[in-house]
């Protein structure tokens, strides 16, 4: 399995910033930030529905869509998967209650 896929995808998403919106789905999302955010919400809802239906394949599919659209938003905001992974690493081994209280 290719664990570098997040970095590879992030590089592609970054490159799409210079593409024409009519030539690239990602560029069309960058051109319409509200639509990009709506897609994240839509994919989150679809992921929840798949989980409630206990359909493992659909959970995988919808979660991939959710992660993809979230990565588009991160790239648009100048953030990378490493920023999120670093935050998860910072929280690792810390009680969820303690971490939340520290915010």
SS (H, E, C) 85-100: HHHHHHHCCCCHHHHH
The per-residue pLDDT of the chain, averaged, comes to 91
Whether the Cβ atoms of residue 18 and residue 76 lie closer than 8 Å to each other: no
Query: Residue 40 in contact with residue 46, Cβ under 8 Å?
Result: no
Sign of CA dihedral 84, 28, 5, 52: positive
User: What distance in Å separates the CA atoms of residue 29 and residue 40, rounded to the nearest whole number?
Assistant: 11
User: Which pLDDT belongs to residue 102?
Assistant: 75
pLDDT at residue 101 above 80?
no
Are 28 and 89 in contact by the 8 Å Cβ rule? The answer is: no
Per-residue pLDDT tens for 58-83? 999 999 999 999 999 999 999 999 99
pTM: 0.86
Q: Is the dihedral of CA 54, 59, 1, 6 positive or negative?
A: negative
Q: What is the mean pLDDT of residues 6-17?
A: 94
């Amino acid at each position: 399995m290719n664990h570098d896929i997040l970095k590879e995808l992030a590089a592609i998403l970054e490159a799409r910033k210079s593409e024409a919106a009519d030539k690239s789905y990602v560029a069309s999302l960058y051109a319409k930030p509200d639509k990009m955010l709506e897609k994240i919400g839509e994919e989150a809802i679809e992921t929840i529905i798949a989980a409630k239906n206990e359909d493992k394949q659909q959970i995988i599919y919808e979660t991939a869509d959710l992660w993809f659209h979230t990565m588009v938003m991160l790239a648009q905001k100048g953030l990378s998967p490493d920023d999120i992974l670093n935050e998860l690493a910072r929280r690792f081994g810390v009680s969820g209650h303690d971490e939340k209280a520290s915010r």
